Structure 1
Amino acid sequence: MSKRSRRRAGDSWQPTLDRVEQVKKLSQTPPTSSRGYQNQLKNGKLWVRDRIALLVDPGTFSEIGSVTGTPTFSPGSNNLESFVPTNFLSGLARIDSRRVAVAADDFTIRAGHADGALYQKAAYIESLAQSLYIPLVRLVDGSSGGGSVAVYRDLGYTYVPPSTGAGWITMIESLSIIPVCGIILGPAVGLGAAKVSTTHFSVICSDVGSLFNAGPVVVERAGIEEGLTNADLGGPGVVCTNGAIDNFAGTEAECFALVRRFLSYLPSSVLDLPPRVPYTALPPAEREARAAALDTAVPTNRSRGYAIRPIIRNLFDDGSFLELGPAWGSPAIVGFARLRGHAVSVVAFDVESPSLGALTAAAAAKLKRHLELASLFGLPVVQLVDMPGFAIGSRAEREGTMRAGVACIRAYYAASVPIFSVILRKVYGIAGAFLVDHKLPHYRLAWPSGEWGSLPLDGGIEAAFAHDLKLARQTGGQAGHDALLAKLQAEFNVLADPIRTAMSFNIEEIVRPGLTRNVLAEWTELMYGTVLKQRLRQVRARVQQTARM
């Protein structure tokens, strides 16, 4: 052995490793004396590392870029005089034993502004999650793009705001590959607002969260509005009712639980099937009670409404329904649930809403977004249909209901997953048609309460026979008009018997409502065993072809 290759006594990389550990300790130790940390706790917010610990499985977070930050060295040496950690943490972890990537803002350092972090670090975790085909969760607290004009002083110049260098291309690409979630745990401003909006699922913490393009001070100085608070400008009462954010929760821990639950229904990427969870059947007595409740859920009096959410709870596995966007897009109700442990997407309509179930522009946008989500990640769709048609009136026209509705129609025709329609009551007009007749073969059935057509009989008879009714009034007065109308109504009520429709095979089956769950469960197992497997092979082939390009 040569002298050069022979290890000298005392040779070691330990001094370098010691310095690494020193910096790690500085980053991982709560800065209890800093004003930013104290304000964080004062405002009822958790420190960023405590947040990550609550979100992921215990002990599974492996940080990437653990010594990233801004150091100050003694002149002419590597002796560290001070160190300011980056205000952006990232790494890999597990949620319910499944691998995920985590990206989190640290508001205690420069209020989470992005110019306090290194763009490369933020872009890296986005790219890593995509390349590993694992979900990404963003914890947003601050994170505006430019932060403040103070950075210009450090740079010595102003700059054209960047996009590609900040990882936006990867962020957009990820939306078609992996589940992406965003949690608002403070003010999400500018870039932070955009990041949490570039997701499949977003949650806001109602006590501390807000989202806006620019904060109250900037808005006031622009001469637009004065005296606004964060909550006025972009609190949950604003962003959860206009569809900017999906769900809200009262505490940070509840936000994390929502995200964990959301991810439990989805595959880790488009290359996998949604996971199935263990399923235990309910006791026979409870199953019978739920079936009986379904049998009487829709009133025989057609002028009476009914509550849809109890129907959803009784059709799907116990406690499995997760509603998405409950505060906006009425009357559409969307979410995830399970049938014998299999994940499914759920669509329903609230006939007790202000529109009485008619499809509004916001509801169409909500349906479109949800259907695209289900189609992307391979969840079969079960929809409970009671659709009187598009919303009508001056407000509906001002909101552009038809254009929004047609965009929703395109999503139905483009869907790559099977859709099963249970017709609870009404199916009328264009809105009803595309819900239940967008592809062949049909997967659908009707309850005995079903009624359908191009137009409902109420109003439709008067429109179709306006001339005859006018003549009847002229010759026999109001009594003559009413007698003819009653005769026509009786005639068409006979024709509207759903059994007549089934006899012509215009509806495939009419079933007892209490048996619907069994039909849906069998269909779901069939779809997972055949159709969805074939779909997955096609998706994998497309991804491989794209990777070779």
Structure 2
Amino acid sequence: MHSTLVGTAPAVPAAAGAIAEPAPPVPPAAPVPVPPAAPAPTLAELRAELARRKEAAVQGPDPAATERQHAKGKLTARERIGLLLDKDSFTEIEGLRRHRATGFGMEAKKPYTDGVVTGWGTVHGRTVFVYAHDFRIFGGALGEAHAAKIHKLMDLALAAGAPLVSLNDGAGARIQEGVTALAGYGGIFQRNTRASGVIPQISVMLGPCAGGAAYSPALTDFVFMVRGTSQMFLTGPDVVKTVTGEEVSHDGLGGADVHAATSGVATFAYDDEETCLEEVRFLLSLLPSNNRELPPAAAGGDRAERRTESLASLVPLSGKDSYDMRAVLEEIVDDGDYFEVHPAWATNVVCALARLDGQVVGIVANQPRAMAGALDISASEKAARFVQFCDAFNIALITLVDVPGFLPGVDQEHGGIIRHGAKLLYAYCNATVPRISLILRKAYGGAYIVMDSQSIGADLTYAWPSNEIAVMGAEGAANVVFRREINASEDPGATRARKVEEYKAELMHPYYAAERGLVDDVIDPAETRGVLIRSLAMLRFKHADLPSRKHGNPPA
């Protein structure tokens, strides 16, 4: 028996042969209106858009930022590049790059260039790569994209074998991007090190450079600074005051004169950016593009065989009398023109680039006007680094010797004069470029050996007839050698004076070293320029192999 649900009508079967009625038709959907296709941009419009974006990259996001930069007495990044490079020679790369950081409002601030202008151009017709921090954008602070642009430029410079110049004016790492900014600095430092001794690297400080950012300039070959606007330090004045209680200004802590005269971090210091950048151009004119080339020669009007008669009167015969070694350089080199390196630091030694018969040479010379020309810690470091630079870039070395010895004193000994002096010794012994030394007057003790003596590998050694090559000065030597005789004498003073003259006559006359082959020739001071030029011509294509090794381990 079947039950039926209440309220449900039973199904009525269709009659046999009946045809079901079709479902009513569904009305078609109303057509969706399609907007008319936008016309494709014309080439003229595309070019206009490109021009607009490039102009935005040049002008920066804030027109007032340029005015603020000028108000500080500073040029903009592009103005600086314009002064450094030959006119209209700059080619920019990645000018339209932007950062991709988010957070801290960064997504709303994405200016072109990301705060650094990168590219290449020419200086005196030769290719030079350059990057310049743009302080108008994020204060020139380095972020991920900013660093990537610099990395690429450095790689290009190394691959092309051309000098790299950095125009520094930045606030350090971009805090909003965190550790990616720090990693960017690491990539720069690695490339600085890889390029060292391969291409010339020049850092120009045109604004602040604090914290880890200061290490890149320290790794490069030369550092230029501008007084009043550029500073370098690892920890700023506020941190110094907090930690040590010392109060110091930004310039007093890390200004141009501090680093040029006291720390030795800055190679050069100038009063304005225009002069600074012009001197960078001049330095580049003296350097090869890379370590596979010789420095560029330049024809001048100075005769190779010009006699240097005035040298005899410039250098006093008495070792107790002072004189300015710079005057000797002016008389010897082409047209009296030389470019001194570190002129304000460690002034007891002069290091300079100059030309002799148009060929670039590096000159290391004792300066009797400062500490009597004795070598100390700073002078040893200064000369050692200069010798290493010249050797790396195929620049022949001339050493002018007038040295009474190493500077004595507790501070020097406790400060490590032994290992610092060894740096200069190591640099000369390791150098394979042409090396010529000339002894003008005094050459005493270990300092004589260190100043590129023949015994450590100088190719040619000359001396003037006024030279005194000895273990020490005659007075000191007599006191040691004849001590008993002097003490036993009825007139010790007269005996000492007589013994001093005996020692000079026996061991310190000008020809003692020549007779023993320790100098190649004793020359007339008036013939100095001609002798040096002929010797350099003979050695121009000198080749010397170093031992097979990964690298040496120079004194720390």
TM-score (norm 2): 0.84
Name the structure 1 match of 2:174: 147
User: Matched residue of 2:412: which SS?
Assistant: helix
Cα drift, residue 483 of structure 1: 2.8
Name the structure 2 match of 1:228: 248
Q: 5 Å matches for 1:118-517?
A: 118-144=146-172, 146-148=173-175, 150-151=176-177, 161-162=182-183, 166-220=187-241, 222-225=242-245, 227-241=247-261, 242-281=263-302, 287=306, 291-353=308-370, 355-435=371-451, 436-440=453-457, 442-472=459-489, 476=490, 480-495=491-506, 496-517=508-529
Q: 5 Å matches for 1:14-93?
A: 16-29=46-59, 33-34=63-64, 36-70=65-99, 83-93=111-121
In the alignment of these two chains, the number of paired residues is: 502
C-alpha separation between the residues in 2 aligned to 1:56 and 1:174? 21
**Could you say if the C-alpha distance between residues 298 and 441 of structure 1 is closer, same or farther in structure 2, counting changes exceeding 3 Å?**
closer
- Assess if the C-alpha contact under 8 Å between 1:342 and 1:525 holds in 2: no
Cα drift, residue 216 of structure 1: 2.4
Name the structure 1 match of 2:18: none
Cα drift, residue 282 of structure 1: 5.5
**Could you say if the C-alpha distance between residues 33 and 447 of structure 1 is closer, same or farther in structure 2, counting changes exceeding 3 Å?**
same
C-alpha separation between the residues in 2 aligned to 1:442 and 1:455? 24
User: Matched residue of 1:433: which SS?
Assistant: helix
1:415-452 per-residue CA deviation (whole Å, 9 max, x = no partner) reads 11121001011111112113213445741110111001
Task: Determine which structure has more spread, i.e. the larger CA radius of gyration.
Answer: 2
- Assess if the C-alpha contact under 8 Å between 1:23 and 1:67 holds in 2: yes
**Could you say if the C-alpha distance between residues 425 and 82 of structure 1 is closer, same or farther in structure 2, counting changes exceeding 3 Å?**
closer
1:13-43 per-residue CA deviation (whole Å, 9 max, x = no partner) reads 6655543322211011266633x33321111
C-alpha separation between the residues in 2 aligned to 1:209 and 1:318? 33
Amino acid aligned to 2:117 = L
1:134-154 per-residue CA deviation (whole Å, 9 max, x = no partner) reads 00000001251x233x445xx
1:66-101 per-residue CA deviation (whole Å, 9 max, x = no partner) reads 1113599xxxxxxx9974541111001000000010
- Assess if the C-alpha contact under 8 Å between 1:187 and 1:230 holds in 2: no
User: Matched residue of 1:390: which SS?
Assistant: coil
C-alpha separation between the residues in 2 aligned to 1:384 and 1:51? 37
Name the structure 2 match of 1:522: 534
User: Matched residue of 1:94: which SS?
Assistant: strand
Amino acid aligned to 2:174 = G
User: Matched residue of 1:162: which SS?
Assistant: helix
C-alpha separation between the residues in 1 aligned to 2:420 and 2:225? 26
User: Matched residue of 1:168: which SS?
Assistant: helix
Cα drift, residue 283 of structure 1: 11
User: Matched residue of 1:296: which SS?
Assistant: helix
Name the structure 1 match of 2:26: none
**Could you say if the C-alpha distance between residues 274 and 106 of structure 1 is closer, same or farther in structure 2, counting changes exceeding 3 Å?**
same
Pairwise CA RMSD: 2.7
1:444-484 per-residue CA deviation (whole Å, 9 max, x = no partner) reads 11011100111211221012221222222xxx2xxx21232
C-alpha separation between the residues in 2 aligned to 1:81 and 1:88? 15
User: Matched residue of 2:522: which SS?
Assistant: coil
Q: After superposing the two structures, state which structure 1 stretch, 133-142 or 450-459, moved more.
A: 450-459
C-alpha separation between the residues in 2 aligned to 1:81 and 1:329? 47
C-alpha separation between the residues in 1 aligned to 2:477 and 2:325? 26
User: Matched residue of 2:408: which SS?
Assistant: coil
User: Matched residue of 1:208: which SS?
Assistant: coil
User: Matched residue of 1:49: which SS?
Assistant: helix
**Could you say if the C-alpha distance between residues 345 and 283 of structure 1 is closer, same or farther in structure 2, counting changes exceeding 3 Å?**
closer
Confirm whether residue 102 of structure 1 aligns to residue 113 of structure 2.
Answer: no
**Could you say if the C-alpha distance between residues 261 and 165 of structure 1 is closer, same or farther in structure 2, counting changes exceeding 3 Å?**
same
User: Matched residue of 1:202: which SS?
Assistant: strand
C-alpha separation between the residues in 2 aligned to 1:361 and 1:440? 23
- Assess if the C-alpha contact under 8 Å between 2:144 and 2:177 holds in 1: no
C-alpha separation between the residues in 2 aligned to 1:461 and 1:133? 56
Cα drift, residue 226 of structure 1: 5.2
- Assess if the C-alpha contact under 8 Å between 1:87 and 1:107 holds in 2: yes
C-alpha separation between the residues in 1 aligned to 2:455 and 2:141? 47
- Assess if the C-alpha contact under 8 Å between 2:189 and 2:219 holds in 1: no
The share of aligned pairs that are identical, in percent, is 27
User: Matched residue of 2:390: which SS?
Assistant: helix
Segments of structure 1 that go 5 or more residues without pairing to the other structure are: 1-8, 73-79, 153-157, 544-549
1:342-381 per-residue CA deviation (whole Å, 9 max, x = no partner) reads 000010011111x211110111111110010000000010
C-alpha separation between the residues in 2 aligned to 1:406 and 1:70? 48
Cα drift, residue 45 of structure 1: 0.2
Amino acid aligned to 2:319 = R
**Could you say if the C-alpha distance between residues 163 and 87 of structure 1 is closer, same or farther in structure 2, counting changes exceeding 3 Å?**
closer
Q: After superposing the two structures, state which structure 1 stretch, 159-168 or 386-395, moved more.
A: 159-168
Cα drift, residue 219 of structure 1: 3.3
C-alpha separation between the residues in 2 aligned to 1:123 and 1:160? 13
Cα drift, residue 492 of structure 1: 1.8
1:265-286 per-residue CA deviation (whole Å, 9 max, x = no partner) reads 11100111111011212699xx
- Assess if the C-alpha contact under 8 Å between 2:460 and 2:519 holds in 1: no
- Assess if the C-alpha contact under 8 Å between 1:119 and 1:165 holds in 2: no
Cα drift, residue 167 of structure 1: 3.3
C-alpha separation between the residues in 2 aligned to 1:362 and 1:224? 26
C-alpha separation between the residues in 2 aligned to 1:177 and 1:30? 35
- Assess if the C-alpha contact under 8 Å between 1:103 and 1:137 holds in 2: yes
User: Matched residue of 2:169: which SS?
Assistant: strand
Name the structure 1 match of 2:554: none
Amino acid aligned to 1:486 = A
- Assess if the C-alpha contact under 8 Å between 2:226 and 2:271 holds in 1: yes
